[in-house]
Each structure stands twice: as C-alpha cells, then as structure tokens.
C-alpha cells in the first residue's frame, strides 16, 4: 500500500512539473536582446521586422524552435536563438503573447 501511495505521489509531482506554466518575467528578461529589431514592447520600429506583441504563444514558440532547428531559415534569427534553451523560448513566447498589439 505504501509503495502504491509513493508511486502515485511521484506520478503527480512529475506531471505537474511537465505542465508547469511558462515564466513571463523570465521571458521578459531574455527578450531584452530582441528589442533592437522587434521593439521594446514587441511592436517593431522598422518595416522589415515583424511585430511579436499579442501573437499566439504556441506559434511564437514554434517559430523560435524552427529557427533553432533550421527548418525556418533566417541568418539573423538563427544567431539570436542559438543560445536559448527550450524553456527560454517558451518563456519568451509567453512574454510576447502577453503584450498588447494595440
Ligand atoms: C537583428 C534583428 C533581429 C533581432 C535582434 C531579433 N530578431 Fe526576430 N526576426 C528578425 C527578422 C528579420 C525576422 C523575420 C525572419 C524571416 O523572414 O523568416 C524575425 C522573425 C522573428 C519571429 C517570427 C515572427 C513571425 O511572425 O513568424 C520571432 C518569433 C522572432 N523573430 C523572435 C525574436 C526573439 C525572441 C528575439 C530575441 C531573442 C529576436 N527575434 C531578435 C530580426 C531580428
């Protein structure tokens, strides 16, 4: 019985860490280096750089992962994501998704 309870507790703690919400504040800190092109609040100052504010979180994360893997090929962005971990990209995506696009 004790073993079963212990096993269940382990499964519960594992599953909560897997669905842990992204950290918007950590994403904001990591996004400081993105502001030059994408704007301080995710609204780009130049026509060649896309706005990121208010974009869907999952879409942003998928684009960052694609730049990192090379499936989306852009030299500027490849160098920007090279040093980011998977968690960094999730946190950054959550940060930009939380901003207003107005
Ligand atoms: C030197 C300028 C520059 C910097 C700095 C930069 N980006 Fe980009 N970013 C671009 C360009 C240019 C594109 C469009 C790429 C393309 O045409 O595929 C882009 C595209 C993107 C996209 C895809 C947007 C879409 O609508 O599909 C995301 C997401 C993104 N950048 C996030 C970031 C993040 C996060 C950082 C900081 C870690 C960052 N960028 C830093 C220039 C930059």
Question: Count of domains in the chain?
Answer: 1
- Atom number of ligand 1 nearest to Cα 96: 35
d(CA 96, CA 62): 13
φ/ψ bin of 42: left (φ > 0), alpha (ψ from -120 to 50), beta (otherwise): left
Query: Does some domain include residue 30?
Result: yes
Q: Which residues contact 44 (CB under 8 A, 6 or more apart)?
A: 37, 38, 50, 51, 52
Q: Identify the residue with better confidence: 64 or 5.
A: 64
The chain-wide mean pLDDT, for the chain, equals: 90
Domain containing 89: what range?
23-98
**Per-residue pLDDT at 19:** 56
- CATH code, domain with 73: 1.10.760.10
pLDDT above 80 for 7: no
pLDDT category of residue 18 using cuts at 50, 70 and 90: very low
Query: Does some domain include residue 66?
Result: yes
Query: Does some domain include residue 73?
Result: yes
**Per-residue pLDDT at 64:** 98
**100 SS3 class:** coil
The pocket around ligand 1, CB under 6 angstroms, is made up of 31, 33-34, 36-38, 48-50, 52, 60, 63-64, 72, 74, 76-77, 80, 92
- Atom number of ligand 1 nearest to Cα 64: 29
Tens digit of each residue's pLDDT (9 = 90 or more) over 37-83? 999 999 999 999 999 999 999 999 999 999 999 999 999 999 999 99
């Amino acid at each position: 019985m004790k073993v079963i309870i212990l096993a269940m507790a382990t499964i519960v703690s594992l599953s909560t860490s897997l669905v842990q919400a992204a950290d918007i504040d950590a994403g904001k800190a990591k996004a400081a280096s993105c502001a030059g092109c994408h704007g301080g609040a995710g609204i780009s100052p130049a026509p060649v750089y896309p706005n990121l504010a208010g974009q869907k979180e999952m879409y942003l994360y998928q684009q960052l992962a694609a730049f990192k893997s090379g499936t989306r090929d852009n030299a500027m962005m490849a160098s920007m994501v090279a040093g980011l971990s998977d968690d960094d990209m999730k946190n950054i995506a959550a940060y930009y998704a939380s901003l207003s696009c107005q």
